[in-house]
Amino acid sequence: MAAASGRDRQGERVIAGGESLGPTVKPAARHRVRTGLRVVERFFAIVGVCALIYHLFFDFGVMVSSSMSPALQGDNALTGDRVIFEKWTGLFRAPQRWEIHQFHTPEGLTVAKRVIGLPGERVSLRKGLLCINGSPVAVPERLKHLRYLPSGNLSKDREVECGTGYYVLGDDSRDSWDSRYEGVLAADRFTGRAWLILGPRSHWGFVR
């Protein structure tokens, strides 16, 4: 009588005549494979969610000019500050005075400047003092070192009306192409607020 199929002592499946069908997959091994696949699946799901959050609420930039020094420093892509710009506050409020915001120039360049004048205000420089609606504006203690130069549309004590836009200036106004030459910016041109400096290590921290 032919031998019935079964298992030999090495755990291989055999059929009549002793022909081997190869080793069986043990339940413990199948469990490890399923567990590994679930870990990989969850890993890629987390990566996807993080990528979506970054795309919706953040942006990354490198400072390649000194126009915002010392707040944001750099003169080339290798040594410039690595900056994270956040977008979420723009979803529920307008830009505030003294914040640094990112926008694109008509030439397609991405730049960052500090908001000075708000919609409905008038901006001027008189005797070296920054004025809003004809009166010197209170400057935060952390920014009292800033000195703006009366050039472009702020020369000769001229006053600029913001209308529905925003007036922006670079912290180092000796080397900044800003609203003095480009005029006010519409709100929809802002793409994010400077939030965190990731590097270099000596300059790490929240943007002020």
The radius of gyration of the chain from alpha carbons, rounded to an integer in Å, stands at 31
Contact 201, 192 (CB under 8 A): no
The answer to whether residue 67 is catalytic is: yes
Residues with Cβ < 8 Å from 43, sequence gap 6 or more? none
Q: Which of 66, 67, 69, 173 is catalytic?
A: 67
Q: Which of 113, 124, 173, 176 is catalytic?
A: 113
The answer to whether residue 202 is catalytic is: no
What are the E-state strand segments in the chain? 6-7, 12-14, 20-23, 58-62, 82-86, 100-104, 110-117, 122-126, 129-132, 135-136, 159-161, 167-169, 190-199, 205-206
Backbone angles phi, psi at 82, to 5 degrees: -95, 115
Q: Which residues pair with 58 in a beta bridge?
A: 86
Distance in angstroms (rounded) separating the CA atoms of residues 14 and 2: 12
- How many other C-beta atoms are found inside a 10 Å radius of the C-beta of residue 115? 21
Q: Residue 85 burial (CB < 10 Å; 0-12/13-18/19+)?
A: buried
Catalytic residue IDs: 67, 113
